[in-house]
C-alpha cells in the first residue's frame, strides 16, 4: 500500500513536471512573441507612410569582412536579423527574407522564414563563414542578376544592405548602383559602427542615375535604437522612390 509520504512525493513530482512543461513552453514562445510585437510595430511604420498595401521582394545583405567578427560572435547579427525579419513578413510576396553575405566575394544563403529564424547565424551563416575584405560591387551585381534576369517580376525589390566599413571598390560599386537604377530595386544601406561611410553618404546625391534608388543612414550601435525608429528610418525614402519609379515606368 502506498504510504502518505509516497503519495505526497508523487504529487510533487507531477506538479514539478507540469511547471517545467509550462516554463519550456514559455521559453519557446519568447522569440515568437518578439516577432509578433515587431510585426505590429512595423505595421504602424507602414501606416505612417500610407504603405499598408505595399508588396515587395525583400533581401538582406550582410557584411562578413574581418571587422564584423565580433558582431557575429556577440549576437548582434542574429538580433539584427530578428529585428528586420518583420519587414519581409509584412512586405514580401512569400514572407521570406532572402539573404546574401559578402566580403570581397558573395554567397547566396538559405532564405529566412518566420518559422526558422532562431539560431540562423550559428546554424547557417557561421557554418559557411569566410572572413575577407569589403567589396560592394560583386554582391550588388548578383542581386540584380537574381531579381532581374533569373526571377524577373513586376514586384519591386527592397534590399537592406548592412556593412561596418568602407568598400575598396568605389568606382565599380558606383557604376553598379547607377546601372541598377534602371531596374525596380531599391537599396537601403545601413552603416554600423564608427566609420565615416563617405561613399555611402554620397549615394543620395550621386549623379547619372535614372532615379534616386538608394538611401543611407548610419548607427553607431544598432542596439541603442528602438524598433519603431529603425523601421521608420528604413522606410524613409522607399515610398518616394516607388512613386518616381512608377512615373518613369521602372515599376510596371
The CATH number for 120's domain is 3.40.50.410
Strands of the chain, DSSP E: 57-63, 97-102, 106-112, 157-163, 185-192, 214-219
User: pLDDT at position 17, please?
Assistant: 42
Sign of CA dihedral 176, 177, 178, 180: positive
pLDDT digits over 109-148, tens only?
Answer: 999 999 999 999 999 999 999 999 999 999 999 999 999 9
Residue 5, in any domain of the structure = no
pLDDT digits over 206-245, tens only?
Answer: 999 999 999 999 999 999 999 999 999 999 999 999 999 9
Neighbours of 177 (CB within 10 A): 22
Q: Rounded distance, CA 140 to CA 117, Å? A: 24
Flag whether pLDDT at 5 surpasses 50.
no
| Stretch 176-194: mean pLDDT | 97
The residue length of the chain stands at 252
| Stretch 181-204: mean pLDDT | 94
Q: Rounded distance, CA 169 to CA 160, Å? A: 19
Domain count, the chain: 1
Q: Rounded distance, CA 165 to CA 146, Å? A: 25
Q: Containing domain of residue 122, as a range?
A: 40-247
Q: Which of 177, 161, 185 is nearest to 80 (CA)?
A: 161
Q: Please give the model's pTM, rounded to 2 decimal places.
A: 0.86
User: pLDDT at position 1, please?
Assistant: 46
Residue 31 confidence class, pLDDT cut points 50, 70, 90: low
Residue 115, in any domain of the structure = yes
Amino acid at each position: 500500500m502506498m504510504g502518505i509520504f509516497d503519495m505526497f512525493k508523487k504529487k510533487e513530482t507531477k506538479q514539478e513536471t507540469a511547471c517545467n512543461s509550462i516554463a519550456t513552453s514559455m521559453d519557446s514562445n519568447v522569440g515568437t512573441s518578439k516577432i509578433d510585437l515587431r510585426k505590429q510595430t512595423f505595421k504602424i511604420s507602414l501606416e505612417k507612410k500610407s504603405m499598408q498595401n505595399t508588396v515587395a521582394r525583400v533581401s538582406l545583405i550582410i557584411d562578413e569582412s574581418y571587422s564584423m567578427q565580433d558582431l557575429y560572435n556577440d549576437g548582434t547579427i542574429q538580433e539584427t536579423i530578428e529585428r528586420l525579419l518583420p519587414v519581409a513578413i509584412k512586405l514580401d510576396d512569400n514572407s521570406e527574407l532572402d539573404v546574401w553575405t559578402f566580403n570581397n566575394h558573395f554567397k547566396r544563403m538559405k532564405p529566412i522564414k518566420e518559422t526558422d529564424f532562431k539560431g540562423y547565424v550559428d546554424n547557417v551563416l557561421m557554418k559557411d563563414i569566410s572572413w575577407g575584405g569589403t567589396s560592394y560591387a560583386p554582391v550588388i551585381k548578383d542581386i540584380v542578376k537574381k531579381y532581374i534576369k533569373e526571377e524577373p517580376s513586376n514586384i519591386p525589390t527592397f534590399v537592406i544592405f548592412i556593412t561596418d566599413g568602407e568598400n575598396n571598390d568605389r568606382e565599380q560599386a558606383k557604376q553598379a548602383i547607377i546601372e541598377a537604377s534602371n531596374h525596380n530595386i531599391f537599396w537601403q544601406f545601413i552603416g554600423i559602427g564608427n566609420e565615416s561611410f563617405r561613399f555611402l553618404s554620397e549615394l543620395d546625391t550621386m549623379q547619372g542615375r535614372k532615379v534616386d534608388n538608394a538611401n543611407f543612414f548610419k548607427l553607431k550601435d544598432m542596439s541603442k535604437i528602438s524598433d519603431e525608429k529603425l523601421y521608420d528610418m528604413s522606410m524613409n525614402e522607399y515610398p518616394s522612390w516607388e512613386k518616381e519609379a512608377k512615373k518613369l515606368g521602372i515599376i510596371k
